[in-house]
Structure formats: C-alpha cells, structure tokens
Amino acid sequence: MEREGDNSKLFLIGGIVVLLLIILGAFFWLNSSDIPSENNPQNISSEEDFVPVVTSGGCDKLGLDVASESRFSCFDSKNKLVKLYISRSGENVVFNRLDFVLYSSNDTVEYTSNYGLAPGSFYSYNIAFTEDSLEKIEITPIVQSDGEEEECVKIYVNSISPCVTEESTVEPAPGYYLDENLNVVLVNETANNTINASTNKSSEILTVFSSKPQKKILNFSFEEFGDSAGVIDELRHSITVILPEGSSKESLTPKITISINASISPSVDLVKNFTSPRVYMITASDESTQKYTVYVETFVPPVEVVIPEANAPSVYLFNIESSNSTSRSIKFNVSDENNLLVCSLFSNNVLQKNLTNLVNISTNFFDLTNLAVGSYSVFVKCTDTFNNTGSSAVSSFNVVAPTVVVTPPVVITPPVTPPPATLTPPITPPPVAPVIVTQVSNTIAGEWSTDLAAASAMATANKKFYIINIGNLVNCGYCQKAEAGVFSKPEFKAWAKANGIAMIYADDRYKDKEPTKSIYYRYVNYNIDYPQIIIVGYESQSAIASFEFRSGKPINGLIARITPSSFIELVDSYTSRYK
C-alpha cells in the first residue's frame, strides 16, 4: 500500500512539472512571435486591416496601428511616394513624433514627422522616396517620459503593396465600355445610381466598376432646362451651369448623377434656390468624401466686337530737362487713326494721372507739381476706342537741390553771327521695351493684398498672372513657415516686383466675410490642405494650378522646399507660356 501511494505522488509531481514546462514554453513562443524586431518583422500586407503594435516600458499606452490594406498603405512608384496610414487608440500620453527609415537595395531615406497623434486620431503620412524598389520600413515612436524623450520599440514593415490607381482599371467585358472617367459602363440600360434621371434615353449607366471607391459628380443639370448641362471642373471641384437669359434661379429641380455606391448630401430635393453657390458632399463606400460647389449663372448676350482697321496709337514724349524746379510740364504728341480714349502718365512705373480731353495728331500736356528731390523715369501710355494701346519711350530727369549761384562779372563781347541753320530730319524714337506695371490702386506687386479686381487688372496689364495664398498665420504652422521662408524674403519680393506679380491673401478665419469670402469660395480647393497656393491667368481669370505648399511635397514633377528659389521654380513650371 505504501508503494502504491508513493507511485501516485510521483505521477502527480511529474504531471505538474510537465504542465509548467508547457506553460513556460508557450509564454516564450507567444512573446517571441508577437514583438516586432528585425528577425521577426510585422508585415502590413497580411489579410488583417491593421497590425497591432506591441510596445513596452513607458510606451505601452500609445496603441498605434499601421493599416495594411493597399488603399491605406502602399508604394506609389509613379509619383515616388510611400503612403502609410497610422492610427492611435491609446491613452493620453505625451507623444512627440514618429521617425521613419526607408530601405532600398541602394540607399536609405530618413524622414521625421513634425508631430505625434492624439488618442482616437489617424494620419496618412506621404513620404517622398525616389528609389524604384522598397525593401522594408523602420518606424520609431518617440514619447516624452519624465521630461526626456524615450524611444519605443521599433515597428518593422517588411513588405508593402503598390498603390491602386484609376489607371489600373481592368478591361471591360463584352457589352461594356470605358467612359472618360475610367468607369466601366453597361450599354442600353437605365441607371441605378442616377438621381431623378429620365428613363427615355437609349443609353444610360447601369453599373460602374472601378479600381477604388469613387466620390464624383458625373453629371449635373436641371429638369427645367434639359439642354443646360453643368460644366464640371475636377481641378477646383466646381460645377458651373449657364441658364437662358432672364431665367430665375430661385426654384430649380436639380438632376445629379454620382458614382456607384456613393451618397450625396444634402438630398437633391432639399435644395431649390441657387441664387448663391451651393455645396454638395459626395461620400464614397469607404467613407471618404469630396465637396463640389455649384455656381448657377444666367446667359449674358455677347457684346459685338468691332475689329479696328487702324494701328495702335503712336506716342512721342519730348525730352525733360533736369533742374531744381519742383514742377514739370510733361509734353507729348499722340496720333491715331481712331478716336483716342485716354492717355496715362506713369512715373517710376506707378500711374500718376489720366487725361481724356485729348487732341489727336497734336501736342498734349501733363502737369506735375510738388516733386521731391530725386530721380524720375516717366512714360505715356495711350488707348483708343478699339482698346489698342501704344506707349512712348521712357524719359528720365532729376529734381536737384537748389544751389547758391555766384554771378561772375559781365564780360562784353562783340556779337557773333551764327552760321545758317541746317534742317535735320525728325528722330524716330527707338522701339519701347514692355513696361511692367507694379502698382494698381493700393495693390503693389510682391505685397499681400485682398483687392482681387486690382490684382486682375495688374495681371491683364502685364499679360501675366497673379498668385492667391489661402490659409492663416495664426494657427497654421505650415503657413507661418511659408511666410517666413519665402514670401517675406527680399529675393522673392524683388522677383514678384520685377515681373509685376500681384499677391492675394485669403485668411480662412474670415472666409464668411468680404472680401475674403468671394476669394475663398471662388478659388478654394477642398481636396488639399493649407497653405493652398493658386495661380490665376489673366486671360480667363481661372486657376492654372493649385497645390499645397509644404516642404518635401512632390509638385508638378518637383520637390517643394521652403525657399524663394524653390517656390519660384514651382511657379515657373506652371507659367512658362507667360515668359
């Protein structure tokens, strides 16, 4: 009996030892497989949406997640960008920043974010990466612990999928075709994603397949005016509808076609009055959104333009002598086969006076008074009733300080008979180089202004463009960097003045008050962040380009830097036709 009891005790002890060994082995196996390291990297291309980040020490309250789906995190080889979508669900600890190291077979790229993430927030990091291949990514969270920075456990992304773009759309099956938006469309069916669509058309959209969720307005019109389809501008995300002359805009029934599986807000039947711009929000199936602003205008009959049969006015400015007099009479001749409208006097490239009571093919005068001591360069620009313009050559003179004149003794000399006068032909003035206008009203080239009309007038006079900056200098750190690093620099101001470029500033804090309201709602691009730079051409007063100006951003094939030369290079890349 004693031997049987001893055997039972031995079996019990042995079972406990084996159970402890199994638990201890499972503990070490779980820890070694869950903690990311260079030997065991986390792979964001797994089937799960998010890969949890395991941290230790003072970092265990962050709760960082790295998205794995290619629509969140991917490598855009075409635009040389690595996109990483990171969210945070942890507690409220001081999270300073994230440090990134991107590895390729040839090089490494280091990138540091300027800020961390608040609990419950997310951010899509776009990192410029010029290499053709990406081997892995190392992410180091930095927190604040006891007044000092602490590095958390590194996150390793061992592979990343290529970004899916609209160019990736597959070939359509028989009976389908690709429309201009790269959507696959079924022929000869009625649209199931068309709001208030008429059903008597021979071909309508039934099903739209796309490589990623869409959030577009595909068509916009009004039932009352079937032929007045809106013009959709995808750059500014705006829609312009022109109604017949005299039409009312107060009670209209919109018809809107949107992307498949998308929704629209406000509902179509809620908005009837279009006397002011209206904003619609399109929400895609992935909850991403896009705003469109609808502008409704009535048709204005074109003004008949009569093409002149004569050349531009010919203007000749007489020489002006330097002296200590503070007044000058500026004398000029103007001749034109048309009727003259106005002649303008410019001094040092600033408009001084206009003269409308003109005598054609004769001498006219401008009077200047109270001139300060200094140098003056003046020219006269004349416009006829056919809007032809002509300018004189530039004439320069000085107003000098008065001096004490000592009269020498008078010496009487016998009169000298002058030789006979020789008639010389009139001197034809040399061709005049284009004159750059640098000030209209209170708007000066290179200085911030809110006078859109003056900026447009300066761009038209110089046949160039003007620049709009949307943001604010109070709580937008990137806007403050752009102002300090570019727009306040003497070299940038000198460039803008030399080219006659007006600068319009729209503070988004006052976007509901004039004059900022008109600027903001006409030109703002809701798809990009601040500072938002918009370049407007003089011909159509429409946006040539709009981009988010931040350091490291790829813009029009260039990488932005917060320096005057980099910004000027970006502007030149869009405006070469104005050289």
Average pLDDT over residues 193-208: 31
Cα separation, 445 vs 495, in Å, equals 9
480-510, pLDDT tens digit by residue?
999 999 999 999 999 999 999 999 999 989 8
Supply the pLDDT for residue 212: 63
Confidence of residue 56 (pLDDT cuts 50, 70, 90): very low
Question: What are the phi and psi torsion angles at 124 (to 5°)?
Answer: -100, 110
Residue pair 345/366 in contact by the 8 Å Cβ criterion: yes
Sign of the dihedral through C-alpha 45, 46, 50, 51:
negative
H or E stretch at 256: strand 254-258
Looking at the predicted structure, is the pLDDT value of residue 307 above 80? Answer: no
* Composition of the chain by helix, strand, coil, percent to 5: 15, 35, 50
As given in the structure block, the two tokens for residue 500 are 């006659």
Q: What is the pLDDT of residues 229-241, one digit of tens each?
A: 888 998 889 999 9
The residue among 69 and 578 whose pLDDT is bigger is: 578
Q: What pLDDT, on the 0 to 100 scale, is given for residue 423?
A: 60
Residue 534, pLDDT > 90, answer yes
Residue 13 tokens, joined? 């002890």
Alpha carbons 130 and 557: distance in angstroms, whole number: 12
Element spanning 461, H or E: helix 452-462
Relative to beta strand 448-449, strand 503-507 is parallel
For tokens 């600033």, the residue is 350
Q: What is the pLDDT of residues 142-158, one digit of tens each?
A: 887 777 888 888 888 87
Sign of CA dihedral 471, 475, 476, 477: positive
Higher pLDDT, 132 or 296: 296
Element (H, E) at 177: strand 176-178
199 Cβ contact partners less than 8 Å away, ≥ 6 residues apart? 190
Predicted confidence at residue 427, as pLDDT, reads 66
Share of the chain above pLDDT 70, in %: 74
Backbone angles phi, psi at 13, to 5 degrees: -65, -45
pLDDT in tens, 358-388: 888 878 999 988 888 889 999 999 998 888 8
pLDDT tens-digit readout, 440-449: 888 999 899 9
pTM here is 0.31
Distances (CA, A) of 476 to 22, 471, 482, 488, 570: 57, 7, 10, 16, 22
Percent of the chain past pLDDT 90, that is, above it, reads 25
pLDDT bracket for residue 202 (50, 70, 90): very low
Domains in the chain, CATH or no CATH each: 50-157 (2.60.40), 168-298 (2.60.40.2340), 314-399 (2.60.40.10), 439-578 (3.40.30.10)
CB 268 within 8 A of CB 280: no
| 214 and 262 Cβ atoms separated by less than 8 Å | yes
